[in-house]
């Protein structure tokens, strides 16, 4: 099994309400399984390349304090790419839920804020440390 | 052109939920074909002294259709239902909606659903083995229905 992690996500989706016997569009919360970013997953190559513009060019001088340039557009694009390639769908979080998550731009922005701090930045810094300097 | 786009739904734009009579919900993930047939029996009324029909009347609504899905998923659903074949399933719900934004929602919720036929074939050269379920339902739920 690939290396994965779970993260709770809130997004707008259609849920079936049994009492009303009808679909309702509402905010739902689901534990979603993601594949970790890795160097050798070809499906994640685009994400990897999209990370470069977010950081200063790494040198031996700035390797310990690499500056992060906030660019919401790039960050949103990376998050969308990450959702498309790295979510592991199951019976609870289906492909339909993934489509609904991709339709909810505010949920993507919220997820991108969490991802950049907890996954993207640590991964990129690790890459800089291991490969570039 | 842009206006028409919102009316065109592809198969991936739908969310399909099957709820067993024990009320366990099951998203249909490997649906190959879902058909829904809403019909009513019609009768032409004639009156003496006239050759043309006087009225076309209808009553007795019918809700039926088929679900074609991969046999592996169907086996998992049967396990949830605690049964070995589909024809024991009664009082289920089939709920279908579109998940992408369109001018109006395509919502179909069939209740009191009974599987009437559980048909499967395994061919020697098959790459996949979908099963076909025929169903009939008692009602269609719709909060917008004025004439149901």
For residue A105 the two structure tokens come to 């731009």
Burial class, B51, CB count within 10 angstroms (exposed 0-12 / middle 13-18 / buried 19+): exposed
Residues B19 and B93: beta-carbon distance below 8 Å: yes
Q: Classify residue A64: in a domain, yes or no.
A: yes
Assess A96–B contact: CB distance below 8 Å, yes or no: yes
Query: For the residues A51-69, what does the mean pLDDT come to?
Result: 75
Q: Classify residue A10: in a domain, yes or no.
A: no
Residue A99 to residue B105, Cβ atoms within 8 A:
no
Question: Is residue A29 scored above 80 in pLDDT?
Answer: yes
For residue B38 the two structure tokens come to 């809403």
Q: Please, what sign has the CA dihedral across residues B136, B141, B147, B148? A: positive
Q: Classify residue A128: in a domain, yes or no.
A: yes
Residues B34 and B67: beta-carbon distance below 8 Å: yes
The C-alpha torsion from A27 through A33 and A37 to A43, rounded to 10°, is: -90
Distance from CA of A43 to the nearest CA of B (A): 21
Instruction: Give which of B77, B94, B75 is closest to B134, Cα–Cα.
Output: B94
- Closest to A18 (Cβ–Cβ): which among B12, B23, B29? B23
Query: For the residues A16-37, what does the mean pLDDT come to?
Result: 93
Q: Classify residue A116: in a domain, yes or no.
A: yes
- The phi and psi torsions of A39 (rounded to 5 degrees) equal -75, -25
Residue from A12, A13, A16, A90 to probe the interface with B (highest B Cβ count within 10 Å): A16
**A105 vs B contacts (CB less than 8 Å):** none
Q: Classify residue A65: in a domain, yes or no.
A: yes
Per-residue tens of pLDDT for chain B, all 148 residues: 567 777 888 888 899 999 998 888 999 999 999 999 999 999 999 999 999 999 999 989 999 999 999 999 999 999 988 889 999 999 999 999 998 766 678 889 999 999 999 999 999 999 999 999 999 999 998 656 555 5
Q: Classify residue A108: in a domain, yes or no.
A: yes
Question: Is residue A112 scored above 90 in pLDDT?
Answer: yes
Q: Classify residue A88: in a domain, yes or no.
A: yes
Nearest residue in chain B measured CA to CA from A104? B100
Residue A15 host element (H or E)? strand A4-17
How confident is the prediction for chain A on average, in pLDDT?
Answer: 88
Nearest residue in chain B measured CA to CA from A13? B99
Q: What is the pLDDT of residue A114?
A: 95
Which residues face B44 on adjacent strands? B56
Domain extent, residue A41, equals 36-132
For residue B64 the two structure tokens come to 């039926």
Q: Classify residue A21: in a domain, yes or no.
A: no
Model confidence at A63, pLDDT cuts 50, 70, 90, reads low
Long-range contacts of B120-124 (CB under 8 A, 24+ apart): B120/B71
User: CA separation (Å) from A20 to A16, A83, B143?
Assistant: 8, 32, 9
A118-131: pLDDT as tens digits: 999 888 888 888 87
Burial class, B59, CB count within 10 angstroms (exposed 0-12 / middle 13-18 / buried 19+): exposed
What distance in Å separates the CA atoms of residue A102 and residue A98, rounded to the nearest whole number? 6
Residue A96 host element (H or E)? helix A95-103
Residue B12 to residue A22, Cβ atoms within 8 A:
no
Model confidence at A108, pLDDT cuts 50, 70, 90, reads very high
In this structure, which topology does domain B12-141 adopt according to CATH? Pnp Oxidase; Chain A (2.30.110)
Assess A20–B contact: CB distance below 8 Å, yes or no: yes
For residue A12 the two structure tokens come to 């707008």
Q: What is the pLDDT of residue B112?
A: 95
Residues B96 and B16: beta-carbon distance below 8 Å: yes
**B93 vs A contacts (CB less than 8 Å):** 18, 21
Q: What is the pLDDT of residue A130?
A: 80
Question: Can you tell me the ipTM of this complex?
Answer: 0.80
What distance in Å separates the CA atoms of residue B121 and residue A129, rounded to the nearest whole number? 57
């Amino acid at each position: 099994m690939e290396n994965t992690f779970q993260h709770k996500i809130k997004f707008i989706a259609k849920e079936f309400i049994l009492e009303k016997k009808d679909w309702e569009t509402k905010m739902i919360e689901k534990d979603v399984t993601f594949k970790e970013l890795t160097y050798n997953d070809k499906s994640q190559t685009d994400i990897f390349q999209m990370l470069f513009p977010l950081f200063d060019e790494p040198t031996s001088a700035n390797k310990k304090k690499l500056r992060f340039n906030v660019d919401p557009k790039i960050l949103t694009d990376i998050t969308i790419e990450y959702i498309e390639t790295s979510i592991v769908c199951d019976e609870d979080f289906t492909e339909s839920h993934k489509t609904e998550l991709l339709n909810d731009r505010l949920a993507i922005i919220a997820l991108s804020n969490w991802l950049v701090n907890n996954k993207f930045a640590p991964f990129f810094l690790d890459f800089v440390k291991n490969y570039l300097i | 052109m842009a206006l028409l786009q919102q009316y065109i739904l592809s198969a991936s734009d739908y969310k399909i939920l099957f709820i067993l009579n024990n009320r366990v919900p099951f998203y249909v993930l490997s649906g190959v074909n879902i058909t829904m047939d809403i019909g009513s029996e019609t009768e032409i009324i004639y009156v003496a002294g006239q050759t043309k029909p006087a009225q076309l009347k209808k009553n007795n609504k019918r809700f039926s259709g088929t679900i074609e899905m991969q046999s592996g998923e169907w086996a998992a659903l049967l396990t949830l239902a605690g049964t070995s074949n589909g024809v024991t399933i009664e009082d289920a719900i089939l709920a279908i909606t579109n998940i992408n934004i369109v001018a109006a929602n395509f919502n179909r919720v069939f209740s009191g659903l009974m599987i009437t036929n559980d048909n499967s074939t395994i061919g020697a050269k098959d790459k996949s083995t979908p099963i076909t379920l025929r169903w009939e339902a008692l009602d269609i739920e719709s909060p917008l229905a004025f004439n149901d």
